[in-house]
Structures are given as C-alpha cells and as structure tokens.
C-alpha cells in the first residue's frame, strides 16, 4: 500500500519510544560507571582538598561524588573495600598507621615505602604535593618564651622537673602509634595525671587563643590558625614525627578505567605547598568562608578553572 511501512520496518514513533527506553536503562549505569568517588577525613584541610579535587575533575568532564568527614582508618577502609576511589593521604599516616612500619626515614624514603606497600593492596600513590602537614605541639608564643621553651626536649625537661603543663589533643592522636604515648617515650617524659585532655581540634585552638585551660596543644603545622593566633610550634628536635607529605592515592582499577585522571590530580598536587595550604585553611577557619568557596578561588587564581 502506498505510504505504508516496508516489511520488517518500525514506525518512527515506536523507534523513538524504544530508543528512549534504551537510554533510560543504559545511561544511569554508564554515568555510575564513570563517577569518581572522592573521600576525605574530618578536618578543614581535607574538606578543602576534596573540594579542589571535585571542582577540578568536574571541569575536566569527570562525574564526581564526595564522601567526607571520615576518620583516618575509616577513609582507608572504605578505599580498600572499593567504596571510595581516591583520597589524599599523608605519607607518615600510611607508614605508621596503615602499614605499621616503624623507624625514621627521609621524606623521599617514606614516600617510596608507602608507595610500594600500598601498591600490593591495589592502591597507587601519585606524585606528591609539597605539603608536609606534620603534627606539632603548639604554645602561645609569649608563654613559650617566658618559660624558655623552643623544642619538645625543652618541654620534656620542664615536665620532668615538676612543671605542671596542661596538654590537649584529639582522640585519634591519643591512641595512634605515632601519637601521645610513643611521643612521651621518645622524649622520656610523661604529662601529669589529669593533665591530658581529649577534645576536638577546634576546641584546642580556641583554648590556646583564649588562654583558658590549655598550655600546650596538638596542632597541624599547615593549619591557618597557627599564624593567626600567634602560636609557637615546639621543634621536634628528636625527629619523632615522620614526614607527612600529602598525595593523591587512587585505586589501580579506577586509574585504568578513567584515562587522564592521574594527570589532572598530579597537576593539582604540583600547585600545592605549605604556605598555600595554610592560606586556604585560614580562609575557612579564620575568614569564615566555605571549603567550596576557598577551593573555587584557588582554582580561579591558578588558572585551573574552565
């Protein structure tokens, strides 16, 4: 019949219908397969790094989800089980906590050791940034100067001689293998009974600033509040703390299925160092802007935004 459909053909409307159904079934799974899940720990620096990663990857066409606010053990556990594809880890944490390696090593050797150890778990350490966010013991500068304290050894001598010092740290540091008890053993001293308080990172900084109830506090060396509150970092003169260089760590299977991912992450790592990270942290913790906004400003200033 003139104008009829040829044998075996399908009406255009039906073809559109079937094609639409096919897209509905296929596209969600394709999008999910391409989504990169970025994890982060539960402090400002990690929130900022996660935002930098998300925004930069999205500008390069990647679909990204973030999962933040996790503990050091939690984020690694989720990565090893495939729930998180990548996050930025500190070499010293991987060395001491995730791989249980003791000893003192140079920054380069620390990186080489964790890279090799984690490769056996299917995790790839990409080229690191120049951020070394080590733990540090901080005091109010006038207090430290009045007591003649410049190093952790100086603090140990004061405590061994009977000086009462009130110390505050977070719960994780209290139990870590590179935490409080090993630190005290390394420097041959012990805080007095009742002189150690476990609290949040924010409370430590506020306590140091307000001069209320802390003499010495555990801080991160790249935290923007160190300079803003004029805190003095006691030098780790026995090199107890390992290097904590920050680098992106990605599951091997994710790198293989997401071409170009490593290059984008390493380009970001190359732009990050201690002063830059301290500035970004200060924008959030002192300036009051969001991690998302701090990341957006940095990427724009660096010419990394689309």
Q: pLDDT digits over 223-240, tens only?
A: 999 999 999 999 999 999
In the prediction, which pLDDT does 306 show? Answer: 63
> Domain 29-132+244-301, CATH 3.30.420.40 — does that match?
no
Q: Do domains 29-132+244-301 and 135-234 have the same CATH topology?
A: yes
Q: What share of the chain is helix, strand, coil (3-state, %, to 5)?
A: 50, 20, 30
Q: Helix, strand, or coil here: 283?
A: helix
d(CA 277, CA 227): 13
Domain edges within the chain: 29-132+244-301, 135-234
pTM of the full structure: 0.83
What's the Cα-to-Cα distance from 223 to each of 86, 263, 280, rounded to whole Å?
Answer: 23, 27, 9
Which secondary-structure segment (H or E) carries 147? helix 141-147
By the 8 A CB rule, do 177 and 225 touch? no
Sheet of 167-169, strand order: 196-198, 167-169, 216-220, 135-140, 231-234
Q: Which pLDDT belongs to residue 32?
A: 39
34/56 Cα distance (integer angstroms): 15
CATH of domain 135-234: 3.40.190.120
Q: Is 15 exposed, middle or buried (0-12, 13-18, 19+ CB in 10 A)?
A: exposed
Per-residue pLDDT of the chain (306 residues; tens, 9 = 90+): 334 444 344 444 443 443 344 333 433 333 334 799 999 999 999 999 999 999 999 999 999 999 999 999 999 999 999 999 999 999 999 999 999 998 889 999 999 999 999 999 999 999 999 999 999 999 999 999 999 999 999 999 999 999 889 999 999 999 988 899 999 999 999 999 899 999 999 999 999 998 778 999 999 999 999 999 999 999 999 999 999 999 999 999 999 999 999 999 999 999 999 999 999 999 999 999 999 999 999 999 999 876
């Amino acid at each position: 019949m003139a104008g009829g459909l040829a044998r075996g053909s399908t009406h255009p409307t039906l073809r559109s219908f079937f094609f639409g159904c096919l897209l509905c079934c296929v596209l969600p799974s394709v999008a999910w397969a391409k989504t990169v899940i970025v994890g982060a720990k539960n402090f400002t620096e990690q929130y900022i790094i996660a935002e930098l990663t998300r925004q930069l990857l999205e500008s390069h066409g990647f679909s990204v989800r973030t999962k933040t606010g996790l503990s050091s053990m939690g984020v690694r556990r989720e990565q090893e089980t495939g729930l998180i594809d990548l996050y930025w880890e500190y070499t010293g944490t991987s060395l001491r906590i995730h791989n249980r390696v003791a000893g003192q090593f140079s920054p380069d050797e620390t990186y080489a050791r964790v890279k090799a150890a984690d490769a056996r778990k299917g995790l790839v350490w990409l080229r690191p940034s120049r951020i070394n966010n080590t733990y540090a013991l901080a005091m109010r500068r006038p207090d430290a100067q009045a007591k003649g304290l410049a190093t952790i050894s100086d603090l140990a001598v004061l405590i061994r001689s009977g000086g009462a010092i009130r110390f505050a740290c977070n719960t994780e540091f209290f139990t870590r293998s590179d935490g409080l008890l090993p630190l005290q053993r390394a420097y041959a001293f012990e805080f007095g009974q009742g002189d150690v308080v476990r609290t949040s990172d924010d409370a430590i900084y506020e306590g140091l600033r307000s001069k209320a109830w802390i003499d010495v506090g555990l801080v991160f060396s790249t935290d923007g509040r160190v300079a803003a509150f004029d805190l003095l970092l006691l030098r780790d003169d026995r090199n107890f703390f390992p290097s904590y260089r920050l680098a992106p760590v990605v599951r091997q299977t994710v790198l293989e299925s997401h071409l170009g991912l490593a290059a984008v992450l390493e380009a970001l790592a190359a732009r990050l160092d201690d002063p830059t990270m301290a500035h970004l942290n200060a924008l959030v913790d002192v300036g009051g802007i969001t991690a998302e906004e701090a990341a957006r400003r940095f990427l724009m200033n660096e010419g990394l935004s689309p």
